[in-house]
Amino acid sequence: MKSTNELIIIRGGGDIATGTIQVLNRAGFAVLVLETESPSAIRRLVALSEAVYDGEYTVEDVTCVCCRDYDQARQVMQSHKVALLVDPQGTSIRDLQPWAVVDAILAKRNLGTRRDMAPKTIALGPGFCAGVDVDRVIETMRGHNLGRIISEGSALPNTGVPGIIGGYGKERVVHSACAGYLYGLVKIGDTVQQGQAMAVISPVRRQTGVVAAIAGDVIVAAPLTGLVRGLIRDGYPVTAGFKIADVDPRESEWANCFTISDKARCIGGAVLTALLQLACQQGE
């Protein structure tokens, strides 16, 4: 089934992608998100990918509905909501022939997005070359160039070090020490003290919800004092080194745990600008 010429497909529905989705939805575009079967967003309370688990999920003023097929997705988009299909490989793009494709997976590498997928193609962050892989690349590294639209070349390479927030960079991000199933002892928005047990990694699946540590669990300690800004879903299977939580040292910024970030909004605005730029160049 063919789409309208206003359809924009977003590959990925994480917290950064959600900033772009919100901007495009507000601008009146029909937005279809393609996600994996098990999204692993850390800042999941502000990630529309949660619709995969809950069926429907709302972030601020945007509601996303996980759909069984494109017929349902079209009905959802006609009601000014965002539709989502589980399609990690993007196989539906060829059939739907969208007006634009935006790769917002943020995998730091290209997982299959090509310039010939749509009349307008944009990718967020490193792993893509503008003018080769896609039409435009958006810089995602915090700093002076955040949100810069790149028409030739690539975004800055991934440093592996998160952006500085409240004076902390890599210290605020928590990675799993081992493989297992994660269960939170705290919730997003809670204040934790440095060294406090904030989650456990269990060797076996068990009931979800806030639980106590039991024999065999590996304790996940808070790396610093602050707000739990992100924490992966209970029961999610993690591997050693997997990113599982984010602590914000700015204890007074509680509301930020539940709203789209400044970084995501900046990138979203850049995506919209790049799309309009491409449309003008193509005489639309």
185 token code pair: 């002892």
Q: What is the pLDDT of residues 194-245, one digit of tens each?
A: 999 999 999 988 876 656 677 789 999 999 999 999 999 999 999 999 999 9
- pTM, two decimals, is 0.92
Helix runs in 169-228, H state only: none
Per-residue model confidence (pLDDT) at position 208: 66
Q: Is the pLDDT of residue 140 over 50?
A: yes
136 token code pair: 């435009």
Cα separation, 9 vs 83, in Å, equals 10
Q: What is the pLDDT of residues 236-270, one digit of tens each?
A: 999 999 999 999 998 888 999 999 999 999 999 99
Per-residue pLDDT band at 1 (split at 50, 70, 90): very low
**Cα 79 from chain centre:** 23
Q: Is the pLDDT of residue 3 over 60?
A: no
Domain parsing of the chain, residue ranges: 7-159+262-281, 170-249
Q: What is the pLDDT of residues 96-121, one digit of tens each?
A: 999 999 999 999 999 999 999 999 99
In the chain, beta strands by DSSP E:
7-11, 30-35, 56-59, 62-66, 82-86, 100-103, 120-124, 136-138, 149-150, 173-175, 180-184, 191-192, 197-202, 218-221, 226-231, 236-238, 243-248
Q: 9 φ, ψ to 5°?
A: -100, 130
Which CATH architecture group holds 7-159+262-281? 3-Layer(aba) Sandwich (3.40)
The CATH code for residues 170-249 is 2.40.50.100
130 token code pair: 């503008």
Nearest 5°: the CA angle 45, 101, 125 is 65
Asked whether the domain spanning 170-249 has the same topology as the one spanning 7-159+262-281, the reply is no
